[in-house]
Amino acid sequence: MSEREAPAGPGRDLADGETIHVMPVNDDVMHENTRDCVCVPDVEHVPNSHGPDGWLYTHHSLDGREQHE
């Protein structure tokens, strides 16, 4: 692997047409890998000039942990 290539898995480049969901761990509810999740996730468009665009879904905790960080 060259130094320009990112390893597969967490931290990989989202600009390859993928949809990635980032979810809280050990939350009060089970989150769904959909835009219809009960937490109403934020959706971010990840543009890619060399191929299909990607999407990043950031889910919100329902136990209120963001208010304490």
pLDDT at 2: 37
Q: Is the pLDDT of residue 28 over 80?
A: yes
**Token pair recorded at residue 55:** 């999407």
For the sheet with 19-22, list strands across it.
19-22, 54-58, 42-46
The residues with which 22 forms a beta bridge, in sequence order, are 58
The answer to whether position 47 is within a domain reads: yes
Residue 45 domain boundaries: 19-61
Q: Is the pLDDT of residue 10 over 60?
A: no
Count up the domains in the chain and report the number: 1
Average pLDDT over residues 32-38: 91
More confidently predicted of 31 and 66: 31
pLDDT at 51: 81
The answer to whether position 2 is within a domain reads: no
The answer to whether position 39 is within a domain reads: yes
User: Which amino acid is residue 26, in one-letter code?
Assistant: N
Q: Is the pLDDT of residue 40 over 90?
A: yes
**How far apart, in Å, do the first and last CA atoms of the chain sit?**
37
